């Protein structure tokens, strides 16, 4: 097998369900490979027990197919399975830790349409796998090395359902909110995206005392992210305006992210959430190393905001896994992405939409300020973003016409902005970001570059 990745992208395995690599056949092989890896590296081997893997999912129709295939593969290697059903991705990470399982698996394609699905893994401690372990799993899938490992009789694994997983996660999320506070003073609009948070987020807000207006909480298996959720923010803006809510929360399909909406119906993105939270943590001496971890896609205004309050921004490649890796390296406790993936390591091991929202709700209550006022802490540089579908992904340096336009854009910005161009790690798309002080200038350059991309590699 070559060194080229064949299954794993930046966030697990993802694609159209029932088409390779997201098929029952490959899911079964992934289950066998993962079972072998995790049974060899058990964190807490207990005498007389089998290794155990937790499986959770979002609300996609194809989740049933992949779940059953994964169970077959895992149990065929003599490893037990605990099924927890639909639960946010951070919930699966937490339950994996809580039940002291050897690993966790999430079946979800996050913000993608229902036709897609994905498979991603967590370690025993609730953190995502690193590239090395994913490569080991991938090698086993293709090599056939474990084909002859066939436990029989009582050595075959078994599967059982965990009925209280949802309740466990609800209590976990509530613990991220101060015990002495309630949400009784707030009316909150919520868009559950017909996804994994359709039960948990309403339950959490209800128990914390909020007056909640809940929308898109009736999944059918085919309506996840359909004209709702964080990929369709106009919906939460509409809900807030129509209901007169103080704040809106909108999730993606697996609820590991959240975007907010202020009382005026204006969207509050991940950069603004990070700025609000980081400045609050700095004021209270809680931001470890006075450092916020963000990706190269976050607005440059974030750096200026942190510097003005005695902190700094440390940037990583795009992808919450890279944010988390950097946070773990130096034990930083707050980080995230513009898209709404926020990691508060004081409470969680991965991005958690409702935990992130609760941090901002806490700040609103403690300061007595509306969200529209709090978000002013970040003064953004204008940005021009273009997300284009592509039919192929050649190395960017081979696109000579595009490279010429990128150089021209960089020269025009004269050091007072930046240009970023990258392929998506989870979709057949290329993403362009130009940031500068003048909106008309960056829009003009973005349009020219996008036009060249469309003519050379566009769909």
Q: Are 255 and 353 contacting, i.e. CB atoms less than 8 angstroms apart?
A: yes
Is residue 271's pLDDT more than 80? yes
Mapping DSSP to helix (H, G, I), strand (E, B) and coil, where does residue 432 land? Answer: strand
pLDDT given for residue 4 in this prediction: 46
Q: If we measure between CA atoms, which residue out of 224, 225, 319 comes closest to residue 12?
A: 319
Predicted pLDDT at 42: 80
User: Is 110 labelled a binding residue?
Assistant: yes
Q: What tokens appear for 63 in the block?
A: 């989740």
3-state helix, strand, coil in the chain (%, to 5): 40, 20, 40
State the average pLDDT over residues 22-28. Answer: 97
What is each CA distance from 81 to 55, 99, 186, in whole angstroms?
Answer: 7, 12, 40
Cα–Cα distance, 117 to 290 (Å, whole number): 38
pLDDT given at position 414: 84
User: In this structure, are residues 360 and 276 in contact, taking their beta carbons and an 8 Å threshold?
Assistant: yes
| Better-predicted residue by pLDDT, 450 or 2 | 450
The residue to which tokens 């097998």 are assigned? 1
Type and span of the H or E element at 189: strand 187-191
Q: Residue 98: its pLDDT value, please?
A: 96
Please tell me the distance from the alpha carbon of residue 383 to that of residue 235, in angstroms, as a whole number: 22
123, pLDDT greater than 60: yes
Residue 245 has pLDDT above 70, yes or no: yes
Please, are residues 361 and 201 in contact by the beta-carbon 8 Å criterion? no
250 — pLDDT class (breaks 50, 70, 90)? very high
pLDDT at 80 over 50: yes
Taking the C-alpha atoms of residue 371 and residue 361, their distance in angstroms, rounded to an integer, is: 9
* Residue 219: DSSP 8-state: -
CATH of 169-377, picked from 3.30.70.100, 3.40.120.10, 3.90.550.40, 3.30.200.20, is: 3.40.120.10
The question of whether 212 is a catalytic residue gets the answer no
**pLDDT at 105 exceeding the cut of 90:** yes
**Please, are residues 320 and 252 in contact by the beta-carbon 8 Å criterion?**
no
Each residue's pLDDT tens digit, 412-429: 998 778 899 999 877 899
Give me the residue spans of the domains in the chain: 8-163, 169-377, 383-457
Is 271 a known ligand-binding residue? no
pLDDT tens digits, residue range 149-182?
999 999 999 999 999 999 999 999 999 999 999 9
User: Considering the chain, what is the average pLDDT of its residues?
Assistant: 95
Domain 8-163, CATH homologous superfamily name and number: Alpha-D-Glucose-1,6-Bisphosphate, subunit A, domain 3 (3.40.120.10)
Task: Write the pLDDT tens digit of every residue in 280-291.
Answer: 999 999 999 999
Contact 56, 107 (CB under 8 A): yes
Q: Give dist(CA 105, CA 70) in Å, integer.
A: 9
Q: What pLDDT shows up at residue 415? A: 78
Contact 120, 105 (CB under 8 A): yes
**Residue 2: per-residue pLDDT:** 37
Percent of the chain with pLDDT over 70: 98
pLDDT value of residue 115: 98
Relative to beta strand 103-107, strand 116-122 is: antiparallel
For the segment 321-378, what is each residue's pLDDT rounded down to a tens digit? 899 999 999 999 999 999 999 999 999 999 999 999 999 999 999 999 999 999 999 9
For residue 458, pLDDT beyond 80:
yes
What is the reported pLDDT for 243? 98
pLDDT of amino acid 11:
83
The answer to whether 73 touches 28, Cβ cutoff 8 Å, is yes
Task: Tell whether the torsion through CA atoms of 429, 432, 433 and 439 is positive or negative.
Answer: negative
Q: How high is the pLDDT of residue 426?
A: 76
Range with the poorest average pLDDT among 113-122, 314-323, 353-362: 314-323
CATH code, 383-457: 3.30.310.50
Identify the band that residue 140 occupies on the pLDDT scale cut at 50, 70 and 90: very high
| Contact call for residues 294 and 314 (beta carbons, < 8 A) | yes
User: How far is it, in rounded angstroms, from Cα 263 to Cα 284?
Assistant: 26
In 144-233, which residue ranges form alpha helices assigned H by DSSP? 165-174, 200-207
pTM: 0.89
Quick one: pLDDT at residue 45?
A: 65
Choice among 16-20, 278-282, 317-321 with the minimum mean pLDDT:
317-321
Q: Identify the band that residue 437 occupies on the pLDDT scale cut at 50, 70 and 90.
A: confident
Q: Which of 39, 62, 108, 110 is catalytic?
A: 110
437 or 38, which is more confident: 38
Helix or strand or coil: residue 265?
coil
Q: Locate 372 and state its tokens.
A: 């529209």
Alpha-carbon gap, residue 301 to 306, rounded angstroms:
9
Residue percentage of the chain with pLDDT more than 90: 90
SS (H, E, C) 382-406: CEEEEEEEECCCCCHHHCHHHHHHH
CB 60 within 8 A of CB 109: yes
Residue 90 in contact with residue 256, Cβ under 8 Å?
A: yes
Decide if 8-163 and 169-377 have a common fold: yes
Query: pLDDT tens digit string along 1-13?
Result: 334 458 998 789 9
């Amino acid at each position: 097998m070559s060194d080229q990745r064949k299954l794993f992208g930046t966030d697990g395995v993802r694609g159209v369900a029932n088409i390779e690599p997201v098929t029952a056949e490959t899911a079964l092989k992934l289950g066998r490979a993962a079972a072998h890896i995790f049974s060899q590296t058990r964190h807490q081997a207990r005498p007389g027990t089998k290794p155990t893997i937790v499986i959770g999912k979002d609300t996609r129709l194809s989740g049933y197919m992949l779940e059953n295939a994964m169970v077959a593969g895992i149990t065929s290697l003599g490893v037990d399975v605990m099924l927890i059903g639909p639960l946010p991705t951070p919930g699966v990470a937490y339950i994996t830790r809580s039940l002291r399982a050897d690993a966790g698996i999430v079946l979800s394609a996050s913000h993608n349409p229902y036709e897609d699905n994905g498979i991603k893994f967590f370690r025993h401690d609730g953190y995502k796998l690193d590239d090395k372990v994913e490569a080991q799993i991938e090698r086993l899938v293709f090599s056939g090395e474990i084909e002859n490992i066939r436990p029989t009789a009582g050595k075959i694994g078994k599967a059982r359902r965990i009925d209280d997983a949802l309740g466990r996660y609800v209590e976990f999320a509530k613990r991220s909110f101060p015990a002495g506070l309630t949400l009784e003073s707030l009316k909150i609009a919520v868009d559950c995206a017909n996804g994994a948070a359709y039960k948990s987020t309403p339950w959490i807000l209800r128990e914390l005392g909020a007056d909640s207006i809940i929308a898109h909480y009736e999944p059918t298996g085919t309506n996840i992210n359909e004209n709702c959720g964080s990929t369709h923010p106009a919906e939460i803006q509409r809900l807030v305006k129509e209901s007169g809510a103080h704040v809106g929360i909108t999730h993606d399909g697996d609820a590991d992210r959240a975007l907010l909406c202020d009382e005026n119906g204006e969207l509050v993105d991940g950069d603004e959430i990070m700025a609000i939270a980081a400045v609050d943590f700095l004021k209270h001496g809680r931001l470890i190393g006075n450092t916020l971890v963000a990706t190269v896609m976050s607005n440059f205004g974030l750096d200026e905001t942190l510097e003005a309050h005695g902190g700094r921004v440390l940037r990583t490649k795009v992808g919450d896994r890279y944010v988390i890796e950097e946070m773990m390296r130096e034990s930083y406790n707050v980080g995230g992405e513009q898209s709404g993936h926020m990691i508060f390591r004081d409470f969680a091991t991965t991005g958690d939409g409702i935990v992130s929202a609760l941090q901002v709700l806490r700040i609103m209550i403690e300061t007595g300020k509306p969200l529209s006022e709090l978000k002013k802490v970040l003064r953004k540089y204008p940005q021009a973003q273009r997300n284009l579908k592509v039919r192929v992904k050649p190395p960017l340096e081979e696109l000579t016409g595009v490279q010429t336009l990128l150089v021209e854009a960089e020269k025009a910005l004269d050091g007072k902005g930046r240009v970023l161009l990258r392929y998506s790690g989870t979709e057949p798309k290329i993403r362009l970001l130009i940031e500068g002080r003048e909106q008309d200038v960056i829009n003009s350059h973005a349009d020219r570059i996008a036009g060249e991309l469309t003519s050379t590699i566009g769909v």
